[in-house]
Structure 1
Amino acid sequence: MQIPVIICDDSNLARKQMARSLPEDWDIEVIFANNGEDGMDKIHQHKPTILFLDLNMPVLDGYGVLERLKTENIPVTTIVVSGDIQAEAHARVKALGALDFIKKPIDKNKLQELLNKHGITEPSKLEALAPEVEELLDPETRDILQEITNVAIGQAGSLLASVLKVFVKLPIPNVNLLEVSELSMALHSVESSDSTSGVCQGFISGGVAGEALLILNDSSFVDIARLLNYNKKIDDGVELELLMDISNILIGSVLKGLSEQLDLNFSQGHPVVLGQHCNVSDLIYSNSTHWKKSLTVEISYGIEDYDIHCDLLLLITEDSIPTLKNKLNFLFDV
C-alpha cells in the first residue's frame, strides 16, 4: 500500500518541482494542495505520514497549518519548504512542530541530505518519525478549563464594568499548550504593528504555578484615563499607573474566580513591568527566559464604544499540568 505524501504550496510550479525532487524509490502517493485550507482538508482525508509545506500562501498560510496541526494533535512529519530564509522563520516553524526547513528553489541533492539526516531513507521509516500525539492537554481537559475560565472572566468583566461604568465584551477563552515562541502568534487580537505595554504577576497554590501576563494596547490609555477620571497629563508614569490598575482588576479577579472553582488558594507575587510601548513580539521575546512550554489560557477583552483592548494570558507551567488534571478529575468527575 502506497504511503500518502502531501505537498502544500500555492505555486503549481513549486509543487511539481517538489514532487520531482522526491526519492525515486519511495512507494508513495503524492497529493497536491494549493493553500493551507486545502492542505488541512486533504490531511484530514488522506492522513499523510509526511507533509511538505510552503509558508506564504493565501487563505491559510503555513504558520496557520502548523498551528492547526498542533491544536488538533495531528501526527504528521512536516518539512517546511519556503523562500523565507529568516532565522526567525526557522525558529518559529520548529517551535510549531516542523521537523526541519529547506529553502526554495528546491535542490534535489540538499533534500536528500535533509532526508538522510533525519533517517527518512525509505517509506517504511516515515511512520516512525510521526510526532507523538500530545496527551498533556486532551480535548476533555481543554473543554473543562475553557468552561471554568468562562465563569472566572465573567466575574472579572463584571468588576471591570463596575469600575469603568462601561459594557465589557466578554471573550471566548483560548486554551492551548504553547512554546514561548508561539505566544505572540497566540495573541490574535493584537496587530503586529500595534504598540503595547505589559505586566506579569506570578501565582502558585497546591502544586499549580504560573504567571499571569497582561498586555494592553497603548491606544487604550486615553480612554482608560478618561473613564477613571484621571486629570493628569498622560505621560509614561500615568500610563504605568493605569496599566497597574487594569492588571490588578483583571488578574486578581480572574485568579479569584479560578481559585474558587478549583478549590485552590492562589498566592500572588508582586507585579513586574515587562515593558512599555513595545511591539508585542518584542515584549514577549525580550522576556522569553521567564517562560518555556506552558498551558496557556488567552483572554481578550474589549470595551464597547471605546478604543480599549487588552489580552490576559495565564501561563501555567508544564509540570503543573498533571496536578491540575488530577484536581479537575476529582472536582468534575471526568
Structure 2
Amino acid sequence: MIPLVVCDDSNMARKQLIRALPPEWPVTISQATNGQEALAALRQGLGQVMLLDLTMPVMDGYETLAAIRAEGLACKVLVVSGDVQEEALRRVKELGALAFIKKPADPEILRSSLIELGLFDPAATPTAVTQTAVLDSLKVNFRDALREVTNIAMGRAAALLAKALGVFVQLPVPQVNIFEVSELHMTLTDAMHGERMSAVCQGFIGDGIAGESLLLFHDSEVADMARLLNWQPKDDLETSEMLLDLASIIIGACLSGIAEQIDVRFSQGHPQLLGQHSSIEQLIKLNQRRWKKTLAVEVSYSLEAHNVHFDLLLLFTEDSIKRLTNKINYLMN
C-alpha cells in the first residue's frame, strides 16, 4: 500500500479529491488541513505521495513545497489547486511539484497523471480499494462547500486579472458569513480603517439566486492600478471608466466560475459606480435598504510587489440562501 497525504483546508475539496482517485489504486490516506500538518505526516513516513492545495491558512502550498525541499523529505507532490495563474504553475514546478491539476480534479486527468508519473499501474493492481470509511468521516457543511466553490471561482478570476495587469495575484482563503446589514457595516468599517474608497456594484440573478457583487477599490492605490494598465486618467470620469473595466473582469470571472460549478446561468446587470472617494460608512448607508440580511462571501486579491489590493464581496439576498443551499447540496454529499 502506498502512503498518500491529501492536503487541503477544505473538507469538501478533500472529499472531492479522494472520490476522484482511481478506485483500484492501493493507497492508505492521511489528511492534512494545512502545510504544517502535511509536513508532520511526511516526517512520520505517512506520505510517499502527496496531493497538495496552494491556498491554505497557517502554511500554504508554496511554503510547503519549499519546506519539503529544504528538509530533503522524500515525497512526490502533485498540486491540485483552483489558482490557475500561469505563474502559479511555473512556481510550483520550480519548487519540485511533479504535476499541476486544476480544481475540481477530473478523475480521468488525475488517473492519467498518476500513470504518466509512474505512481499508479492499473495492470499491477487487480483488486479494488474502498475509501468508504475515509469519505464517511468527511462531513461537509454549507459554508465549507460555498467557500470551496468560491475558492475555485476566484482562482479563475485571478488568472484573468494576472494576464490583464501582467502581475502575480496573491489569493487568500475566502470568508463566508451571514450578516445583518448592521453587522456587515461594522465588519467592513473595521477592515477599512477609515480609508477613502471607490466602489463598483453589479447585480446578478439566475435560477432563483440573486444578489450583488461589490468591488471596493482603495483610493490610495488607484494611481498604481492606472500605471499597471498603462492608463493616464485625466479626471474622475476616466478613473471611473478604468475601475468599471477592472470590475467587469474580476466580477464576471468570479460569477462565471461559481455558476459553472453549481449549474446555474447568471444574468448580470451593468456594473455601476456606487461612489468615489467615499468612506465605507457612506457606501453602506446609501445601500443598506437594498441589502438587509445577506449572505456575504468576501475575497481579497492583492498584487505581488505592488501596493494594490481589491476587496470583492458577493452579497446574496436572504431569499436566495435556501435555493443556493439546494444547488450546492450535490457537491456536499
Amino acid at match of 2:216: I
In 2: Cα distance, 1:184 partner to 1:288 partner = 9
In 1: Cα distance, 2:250 partner to 2:202 partner = 11
In 1: Cα distance, 2:165 partner to 2:220 partner = 17
In 2: Cα distance, 1:211 partner to 1:186 partner = 18
1:315 aligns with: 315
Could you list the runs of 4 or more consecutive aligned residues of structure 1 that deviate by over 6 angstroms after TM superposition?
none
1:203 aligns with: 204
Amino acid at match of 2:246: I
Amino acid at match of 2:318: E
What do the CA deviations read for 1:276-315 (whole angstroms, capped 9, x no partner)?
Answer: 0011121111221111101110111111111212211101
In 1: Cα distance, 2:273 partner to 2:140 partner = 34
What do the CA deviations read for 1:162-199 (whole angstroms, capped 9, x no partner)?
Answer: 10000111121110000111223333884332100011
Alignment of 1:30-179 (within 5 A): 140-179=141-180
Amino acid at match of 1:299: V
Amino acid at match of 2:269: G
C-alpha contact 1:197 1:216 (8 A) present in aligned 2:
yes
Amino acid at match of 2:307: D
1:153 and 1:188, CA in 2 relative to 1: closer, same or farther beyond 3 A? farther
Amino acid at match of 1:255: L
Larger Rg, first or second structure (1 or 2) = 1
C-alpha contact 2:189 2:280 (8 A) present in aligned 1:
no
Shift of 1:259: 0.6
* SS at structure 1 position matched to 2:213: strand
Shift of 1:143: 0.2
In 1: Cα distance, 2:140 partner to 2:183 partner = 20
* SS at structure 1 position matched to 2:141: helix
What do the CA deviations read for 1:135-157 (whole angstroms, capped 9, x no partner)?
Answer: xxx97000000001000000001
1:146 and 1:228, CA in 2 relative to 1: closer, same or farther beyond 3 A? same
Structure 1 segments unaligned to the other structure (5+ residues):
1-137
1:289 and 1:188, CA in 2 relative to 1: closer, same or farther beyond 3 A? closer
1:267 aligns with: 267
Amino acid at match of 2:252: G
C-alpha contact 1:171 1:301 (8 A) present in aligned 2:
yes
Amino acid at match of 2:309: H
Structure 2 segments unaligned to the other structure (5+ residues):
1-138
Amino acid at match of 1:332: L
In 2: Cα distance, 1:301 partner to 1:190 partner = 14
2:216 aligns with: 215
What do the CA deviations read for 1:42-76 (whole angstroms, capped 9, x no partner)?
Answer: xxxxxxxxxxxxxxxxxxxxxxxxxxxxxxxxxxx
TM-score normalised by the chain length of structure 1? 0.56
In 2: Cα distance, 1:257 partner to 1:192 partner = 31
C-alpha contact 1:192 1:280 (8 A) present in aligned 2:
no
Shift of 1:231: 3.1
1:182 aligns with: 183
In 2: Cα distance, 1:265 partner to 1:158 partner = 21
In 1: Cα distance, 2:142 partner to 2:321 partner = 10
Aligned positions, number: 195
Deviates more, 1:155-164 or 1:265-274: 265-274
In 1: Cα distance, 2:162 partner to 2:332 partner = 34
Amino acid at match of 1:193: G
Shift of 1:212: 0.6
Amino acid at match of 1:195: R
C-alpha contact 1:181 1:285 (8 A) present in aligned 2:
no
In 2: Cα distance, 1:304 partner to 1:189 partner = 24
Amino acid at match of 1:225: A
Shift of 1:333: 4.8
2:100 aligns with: none
* SS at structure 2 position matched to 1:171: coil
1:249 aligns with: 249
In 2: Cα distance, 1:189 partner to 1:305 partner = 25
Shift of 1:248: 0.4
Amino acid at match of 1:152: A
C-alpha contact 1:177 1:295 (8 A) present in aligned 2:
yes
1:68 aligns with: none
Amino acid at match of 1:140: N
TM-score normalised by the chain length of structure 2? 0.56
1:303 aligns with: 303
1:72 aligns with: none
1:78 aligns with: none
In 2: Cα distance, 1:139 partner to 1:199 partner = 33
In 2: Cα distance, 1:206 partner to 1:260 partner = 13
